[in-house]
Amino acid sequence: MLGVIGGMGPLATAIFYAMLTNKQKVSAEQEHPDIIIYSKPSIPDRSAFILGQSEVSPLDDIIHAAKILQGAGVSFIAMPCVTSHYFYENIAQAINVPIINLIDEIAKHALTNGFEKIGVLATNGTMAAGLFQKTFEKCGIEMLQLDSENQAELMKIIYDIKLGQHIKAEIFDELEEDLFRRGAQAIVLGCTELSMVIGPVLKERIDALDVLANTVLEMSRKTP
DSSP secondary structure string for all residues of 13-71: HHHHHHHHHHH---SSGGGSPPEEEEE-TTSPPHHHHHTTS-S--SHHHHHHHHHHHHH
164: CB partners within 8 A, 6+ apart: 11
112: CB partners within 8 A, 6+ apart: none
Options 81, 102, 131, 143, the catalytic residue: 81
DSSP secondary structure string for all residues of 78-130: E-S-SGGGGGHHHHHHH-SS-B--HHHHHHHHHHHTT--EEEEE--HHHHHHT
Specify the DSSP class assigned to residue 195.
Answer: G
Q: Is residue 191 annotated as part of the catalytic site, yes or no?
A: yes
Options 99, 122, 129, 191, the catalytic residue: 191
Q: Is residue 139 annotated as part of the catalytic site, yes or no?
A: no
Amino acid at 161: I
Compute the distance between CA of residue 211 and CA of residue 191 in angstroms, rounded to an integer: 12
Catalytic sites, residue numbers: 81, 191
